[in-house]
Structure 1
Amino acid sequence: MRYFILLLICVSFSCKQKEDTPQVEEKVQEVVSGSLFKTIENPSTGKAHLPRLVAQNGTLHMSWVEEEDSLAILKYASYNDAKWTTPKTITSGSDWFVNWADFPALAVNGETILTNILQKSAQGTYDYDVKLNLLSGNEIIKSNFLLNTDGIPAEHGFVSMQPYDDGFYATWLDGRHTKNENEELNQMSLRAAIVGLDGTIREDAEIDARVCDCCNTAIGITYNGPVVVYRDRSEDTEEIRDTYIVRWEDGAWGLPTAVYHDQWKLNGCPVNGPALDTKEENVVITWFTASNDTPRVLVTFSKDNGVTFGDPVRVDAGMAIGRVDTSFLNDGSALVSWLEPKEKAVVLQMVRVYQDGHKDAPMTITTTSAQRASGFPQMETIDDTVYVAWTDLQGDASQIEMVSFKL
């Protein structure tokens, strides 16, 4: 049985009447009127959503999905010197699993771009595979090839990717063990593999046998190698859903360990995974928890490649919704973004947090919606410039909005 249980706070906001959600014009005006923010026109058109941002070597890269009737289209463009490249259609299909939380990942290694889509593999609602696409310049090197090679019609998704040596490291939630007749034996696992620049898949390995079913994963590269953070699921009947980390060390994946013991007991999945960034031996992790019936967003730093972490710092003002992102800055501090309620609306908040635990005053980027379709806002930094993208809802339609500002 698939669990998609959201917290009451999320449900209460997503069920509000339309008049409780500010109109698009109001939201744009709020952003534009702020002296810090610069609106960036982006190349998405039509019904566009699910942006993914990656900053690499001074260039901002973005993938997104556009929908035309039953057809879903994955597109890509890059932004440099205040100009976008001509959008590239990477792939399209009418048999995709298009989801607000489980959306295409993006990674850049030199001139090579790696993305993914989720393609239905059987009639079950959550039976789909991860299909990868490799792009170099305007050329598709390899299209729609499988990341998961188990051949079992089950859920495979929540992909995260990072460039690694002569290719990419990818991690994903894998449902190959969820098709048992005895439902008590069904459990989602976490896997990782290297994707070569030619599309070869190697070193495919299970790195945690039992994890939360539908929370996004995050991967980063430290001096010691890859680290993956995700929402775990305890082995006993307690159903503890805390954030865990697993590290590559001495040529193999180590044992998963808790980033912090929230002791969040939840008989279901909150669809609200952690965010991660790495900078040399430094790691920053941001996550949402509602342990002790207190929804909040926490941040913690590591200075030893993710082996140990400092005390978590709370950044929200209360009753947070989550959907977090984080990015290191040049001085070792980090920016954190999240959603939280404010009066009758929901706002996208951002704050700078320092490794000694203190933080600046938070800023509001925009008003938005807690509805699932608003997705997960994205944030990236290039030198002293911050870029933010999110899905803006307009009834049944949607568009991607972007702003930038200098620190």
Structure 2
Amino acid sequence: MTIQNTLTKIFPVGLLVWFCWSLPVNAEADQPEFPIQEITVPTSKESKQHHLAKTDGGRLILSWVESDGQNSTVRFVIREGQGWSPVRTVTSVDGKLGDPPVVFGLDDGSLAAAWMPYVKGGKSKYVADILLARSQDGGLTWSKAFKPYGESARVYDAQMSLTALPNARIALVWTDMRETGDPRKDDRYQLMATVLAKGQQSAGTELRLDDDICSCCRASTTAEGESLLTVYRDHSQGEIRDTGAVRWDTDGKVQALSAPGDGWRIEGCPSNGPAVDMSASSVALAWFSAADDKGRFKVAFSTDGGKSFTKPFEVDDDARGYVNVALLSTNAALVSWRKRVGPEDELRIAKVTTDGISRQTAIYQGDFPGWPSKYPDMVVLDHQAFVAWTDPIKKKVRLVAVTLD
């Protein structure tokens, strides 16, 4: 028996509408729970490939893709009070897109957007381009799109990681396969990066962060001033695929860090990357591992910029992964992940500290799509968190607000 069928026997219809709107998406969760509220996403068609970001002024940006079977259109809205801005369009391209497009704010008040169309007629079906554009009027119009890397790049469609830098600059990290299939090379995937100046409409100077990484797993990049931190799934001898981490800066200095390892040996890429957030005083690292053939979700903190980490603690010992993390304070963070629940998955959030889990709540239980919409997304703004996912049954992007107080 559904919740709604039960309630109709008890409440008048008008009261029922208000009551159901006030219910969390999934009320079954461990105590104490976070209050959650579903927010209607203003899509007129089927939607997918969600992404959350924020403006420089701290307003939520939600972007997604609408497809008619031939074209993919990137749209977004900005949260305004309890409502949304008008839906705005970034671009429409022929065919599918790779990793979900992103729209995010820069510190001069402008917006940046990036999307990943596939290269037509390429030697590999996984080769894509990353196109980037800026808007000075809140997304009403966009600059001419450009490739932010050189002609030798062969972008793998699995991931692109972007973050805003001071003075309206942009950092981009991508997976590159320019050396795969070359008998003179090690036939491995590289993690590449570049920094683009304000208004730059051409390729930036490329920087190699790691020359041997796991191909399909998503990377996560965060910045504090001129210093950046990128985490990803590394690849090392013996098919070990543990979390990799690298500090780098806008001057091109790269420093590999020792992230906590699990010794996960797996022949193929698990397509399940880590997440990171950083402040001036702390780093929070979240990742999935199945080193013992059981899905585990772990978190560790650092107070020295990632040079060393606390002993990892386990958030979930039956996890599917696809994690997110956002710092709340020096030793506390909010995390989201997909937990295994029978044949379905459960989208959960939890507050974690160096002492473990202090609070958690289930948001949604059901099916999730495959790549590129399989990762839930999460952003923390003041005393609220927003979590987005794509519902394959309803064929639309869904969003909840989580009260953190």
**The TM-score by the shorter chain falls in which range?**
0.7 to 0.9
Q: Offset at 1:181?
A: 4.8
Q: Pairwise mapping of residues 12-23 of structure 1 onto structure 2 (< 5 A)?
A: none
Which residue of the partner structure matches residue 247 of structure 2?
Answer: 247
- Indicate the SS of the match to 1:144: coil
Which residue of the partner structure matches residue 351 of structure 1?
Answer: 350
Q: Offset at 1:188?
A: 0.6
Q: Offset at 1:83?
A: 1.8
Deviation beyond 4 Å, 4+ runs, structure 1: 25-30, 32-35, 151-154
Q: Pairwise mapping of residues 97-116 of structure 1 onto structure 2 (< 5 A)?
A: 97-98=97-98, 102-110=99-107, 111-116=109-114
Which residue of the partner structure matches residue 217 of structure 2?
Answer: 215
Q: Distance in 1 between matches of 2:359 and 2:270?
A: 28
The residue type paired with residue 226 of structure 1 is L
Q: Distance in 2 between matches of 1:371 and 1:44?
A: 18
C-alpha RMSD over aligned residues? 2.7
Q: Structure 1 residues 303 and 331 mapped into 2: Cα distance closer, same or farther (>3 Å)?
A: closer
Which residue of the partner structure matches residue 3 of structure 1?
Answer: none
Q: Distance in 2 between matches of 1:36 and 1:251?
A: 44
Which consecutive unaligned segments of at least 5 residues does structure 1 have?
A: 1-21
Q: Offset at 1:379?
A: 1.1
The residue type paired with residue 363 of structure 2 is I
Which residue of the partner structure matches residue 150 of structure 1?
Answer: 151
Please state if 1:31 is matched with 2:33. Answer: no
Q: Structure 1 residues 368 and 55 mapped into 2: Cα distance closer, same or farther (>3 Å)?
A: farther
Q: Structure 1 residues 198 and 49 mapped into 2: Cα distance closer, same or farther (>3 Å)?
A: same
The residue type paired with residue 272 of structure 2 is N
Tell me how many residue pairs correspond in the alignment.
Answer: 376
Q: Distance in 2 between matches of 1:139 and 1:370?
A: 32
Q: Distance in 1 between matches of 2:104 and 2:192?
A: 18
Q: Distance in 2 between matches of 1:205 and 1:282?
A: 25
The residue type paired with residue 103 of structure 1 is P
Check the 8 A contact 1:223/1:305 in 2, yes or no: no
The residue type paired with residue 308 of structure 2 is T
Check the 8 A contact 1:133/1:142 in 2, yes or no: yes
Q: Structure 1 residues 153 and 315 mapped into 2: Cα distance closer, same or farther (>3 Å)?
A: closer
TM-score normalized by the length of structure 2: 0.85
The residue type paired with residue 188 of structure 1 is Y
The residue type paired with residue 62 of structure 1 is L
Check the 8 A contact 1:129/1:157 in 2, yes or no: no
Q: Pairwise mapping of residues 218-233 of structure 1 onto structure 2 (< 5 A)?
A: 218-222=220-224, 225-233=227-235
Q: Offset at 1:253?
A: 2.9
Which residue of the partner structure matches residue 193 of structure 1?
Answer: 194
Q: Structure 1 residues 154 and 50 mapped into 2: Cα distance closer, same or farther (>3 Å)?
A: closer
Q: Pairwise mapping of residues 287-326 of structure 1 onto structure 2 (< 5 A)?
A: 287-316=287-316, 318-326=317-325
Greater Cα offset, 324-333 or 306-315 = 324-333
Q: Distance in 2 between matches of 1:39 and 1:154?
A: 36
Q: Structure 1 residues 370 and 83 mapped into 2: Cα distance closer, same or farther (>3 Å)?
A: closer
Work out which structure has the larger RCO, using CA pairs closer than 8 Å and 6 or more positions apart in sequence.
1
Percent same amino acid at aligned positions? 25
Greater Cα offset, 33-42 or 103-112 = 33-42
Greater Cα offset, 261-270 or 154-163 = 154-163
- Deviations along 1:115-145, whole A, 9 cap, x unmatched? 2211222343112111112222234442331
Check the 8 A contact 2:26/2:362 in 1, yes or no: no
The residue type paired with residue 405 of structure 1 is V
Check the 8 A contact 1:222/1:305 in 2, yes or no: no
Q: Pairwise mapping of residues 61-76 of structure 1 onto structure 2 (< 5 A)?
A: 61-76=61-76
- Indicate the SS of the match to 2:358: coil
- Deviations along 1:81-116, whole A, 9 cap, x unmatched? 112111111011114434xxx222333213222222
TM-score normalized by the length of structure 1: 0.85
The residue type paired with residue 25 of structure 2 is V
Larger radius of gyration: 2
Q: Pairwise mapping of residues 323-338 of structure 1 onto structure 2 (< 5 A)?
A: 323-330=322-329, 332-338=331-337
The residue type paired with residue 113 of structure 1 is L
Which residue of the partner structure matches residue 19 of structure 1?
Answer: none
Greater Cα offset, 367-376 or 276-285 = 367-376
Q: Distance in 1 between matches of 2:273 and 2:358?
A: 24
Greater Cα offset, 33-42 or 343-352 = 33-42
Q: Structure 1 residues 224 and 151 mapped into 2: Cα distance closer, same or farther (>3 Å)?
A: closer
Please state if 1:170 is matched with 2:168. Answer: no
- Deviations along 1:17-52, whole A, 9 cap, x unmatched? xxxxx9xx9999761768822121122231201111
Check the 8 A contact 1:49/1:65 in 2, yes or no: yes
Q: Distance in 2 between matches of 1:319 and 1:164?
A: 37
The residue type paired with residue 366 of structure 2 is T
Q: Structure 1 residues 51 and 97 mapped into 2: Cα distance closer, same or farther (>3 Å)?
A: closer
- Indicate the SS of the match to 1:69: coil
Q: Structure 1 residues 199 and 83 mapped into 2: Cα distance closer, same or farther (>3 Å)?
A: farther
Q: Structure 1 residues 145 and 43 mapped into 2: Cα distance closer, same or farther (>3 Å)?
A: same
Q: Distance in 1 between matches of 2:361 and 2:402?
A: 12
Q: Distance in 1 between matches of 2:240 and 2:38?
A: 41
Q: Offset at 1:223?
A: 5.3
- Indicate the SS of the match to 2:311: coil
Which consecutive unaligned segments of at least 5 residues does structure 2 have?
A: 7-19, 29-33
Q: Distance in 2 between matches of 1:300 and 1:283?
A: 8
